[in-house]
């Protein structure tokens, strides 16, 4: 018998059921092979250890009432809290009341939560409707057409003189001529204001729509000459005579618009929004100002 064969029969050998020639061969192998002999001793001590394992007897409570014994949770006894030591009927009634209270609370809170939700939805809807209305208004402003060529006001003057030094000798001449033409009306020569706003933008056409919207909001009549703007080389120009009271509004809105358009200030001389105020020698009806908005294509 070799080690492999002995290993295969070790279970029977341990049980003592190996008899006859097989038993003799196994005994002889154990005498000659130290490793198998050691192993056999180890197995024997393992089997002895297993048979010597302490026995646990059935608790008397189970033996007496095998149908209805309570499970002893000996492991959990240390972790039992004070709450678990309270009699079950008190515990369950408190727990039941607690659950009922939670359910009632949830039922009471549902309409409130729903109201809050509905309010938030309404608010969203209002914002959405307002945006829709604004878009619709913006579309309606497109009615004011973009004119090509010279402005009505500038029919007799140069349109591109927005850079400060606009008053020249010709203006004075024209003043005189206007004086003669509009005799009898309240014309105050040399006291009129020209407001010039310059916005630098990538898309003058988009900005034009917004400016038209602003002008409409400021209740400037649509039939005001130059209301829709004039497309000129390098941009679009609005040249209008409006009520003096509307000028601050125009200025504020244009400032806001320039911030919204996100035009970046590249250098001090490249401001996205600039404005000037000059005295005009041209005759402008009293209580009115000339406003020139130049949307410069960047």
Partner 1 sequence: MTNQPQLKSNLIERVVQIYGDMLFDFCHSVLWSQSNAHLAFRSILKEIKKQKRTHSYNNYERPWILKIACEKLRSQARKHGRRLTPSEQIMLDATLKTDVRLKQFDSYFHRLSSDDQMLLLLRDKYGLPYNEIAAAMQLPEGSLKVKRQQALRTLEDWVWNRT
Pick from 2, 7, 120, 129 the residue near partner 1 by CB under 8 A.
7
Q: Are 173 and 224 within 8 A, CB to CB?
A: no
CB of 119 to partner 1, least distance (A): 50
Closest CB to partner 1 among residues 66, 111: 66
Q: Are 204 and 211 within 8 A, CB to CB?
A: no
Concatenating the DSSP letter of every residue in 34-103 gives HHHHHHHHHHHHHHHHHHTSPPPPPPHHHHH-SSS-PPP-TTTSTT--HHHHS-HHHHHHHHHHHHHHHH
Q: Are 182 and 192 within 8 A, CB to CB?
A: no
DSSP state of 285: B
Each residue 75-94 as x (binds partner 1 by CB under 8 A) or -, in order, gives xx------------------
Q: Is 74 in the site for partner 1 (CB under 8 A)?
A: yes
Strand partners, 294: 198, 237
Closest CB to partner 1 among residues 44, 119: 44
Pick from 72, 94, 103, 113 the residue near partner 1 by CB under 8 A.
72
Q: How far apart are CA 239 and CA 220, in angstroms?
A: 13
Stretch of 55-63, 147-155, 235-243, 256-264 contacting partner 1, by CB under 8 A = 55-63
Pairing of strands 230-232, 273-280: unpaired
Q: How far apart are CA 216 and CA 115, in angstroms?
A: 38
Closest CB to partner 1 among residues 38, 131: 38
Q: Is 10 in the site for partner 1 (CB under 8 A)?
A: yes
Distances (CA, A) of 163 to 21, 132, 198, 211: 126, 39, 9, 21
Burial 215-251 (b: 16+ CB within 10 A, else e): bbebebeeebebbbbbbbeebbbbbbbbeeebbebbb
Stretch of 11-19, 120-128, 176-184, 225-233 contacting partner 1, by CB under 8 A = 11-19
Q: How far apart are CA 101 and CA 138, in angstroms?
A: 55
**Angle 204-217/246-260 helices, nearest 10 degrees?**
140
Q: Is 37 in the site for partner 1 (CB under 8 A)?
A: no
As a residue count, the chain comes to 298
Pick from 27, 31, 47, 149 the residue near partner 1 by CB under 8 A.
47
Closest CB to partner 1 among residues 6, 227: 6
Closest CB to partner 1 among residues 56, 81: 56
CB of 71 to partner 1, least distance (A): 4
Q: Is 55 in the site for partner 1 (CB under 8 A)?
A: yes
Stretch of 44-52, 93-101, 130-138, 222-230 contacting partner 1, by CB under 8 A = 44-52
CB of 45 to partner 1, least distance (A): 7
Q: Is 58 in the site for partner 1 (CB under 8 A)?
A: yes
Pick from 22, 23, 69, 285 the residue near partner 1 by CB under 8 A.
69
Interacting residues toward partner 1 by CB under 8 A: 7-8, 10-12, 14, 39, 42-43, 45-47, 49-51, 53, 55-59, 62-63, 66-67, 69, 71-76
């Amino acid at each position: 018998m070799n080690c492999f064969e002995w290993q295969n029969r070790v279970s029977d050998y341990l049980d003592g059921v190996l008899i006859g020639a097989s038993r003799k061969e196994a005994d002889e192998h154990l005498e000659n092979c130290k490793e198998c002999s050691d192993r056999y001793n180890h197995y024997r001590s393992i089997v002895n250890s297993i048979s010597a394992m302490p026995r646990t007897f059935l608790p008397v409570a189970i033996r007496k009432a095998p149908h209805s014994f309570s499970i002893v949770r000996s492991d959990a006894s240390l972790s039992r809290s004070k709450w678990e030591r309270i009699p079950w009927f008190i515990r369950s009634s408190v727990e039941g009341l607690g659950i009922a209270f939670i359910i009632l609370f949830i039922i009471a809170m549902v309409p409130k939560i729903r109201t809050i939700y509905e309010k938030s939805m309404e608010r969203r809807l209002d914002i959405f409707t307002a945006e829709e209305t604004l878009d619709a208004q913006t579309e309606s402003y497109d009615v004011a057409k973009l004119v090509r060529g010279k402005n009505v006001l500038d029919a007799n003057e140069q349109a591109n003189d927005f850079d400060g030094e606009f008053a020249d000798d010709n203006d004075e001449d024209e003043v005189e001529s206007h004086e003669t033409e509009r005799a009898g009306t309240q014309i105050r020569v040399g006291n009129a204001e020209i407001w010039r706003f310059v916005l630098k933008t990538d898309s003058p056409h988009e900005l034009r729509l917004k400016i038209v919207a602003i002008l409409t909001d400021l209740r400037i009549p649509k039939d005001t000459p130059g209301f829709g703007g004039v497309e000129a080389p390098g941009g679009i120009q609005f040249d209008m005579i409006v009520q003096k009271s509307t000028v601050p509004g125009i200025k504020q809105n244009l400032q806001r618009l320039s911030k919204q358009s996100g035009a970046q200030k590249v250098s001090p001389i490249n401001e996205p929004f600039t404005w000037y105020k000059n005295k005009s020698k041209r005759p402008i009806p009293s209580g009115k100002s000339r406003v020139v908005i130049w949307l410069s294509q960047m």
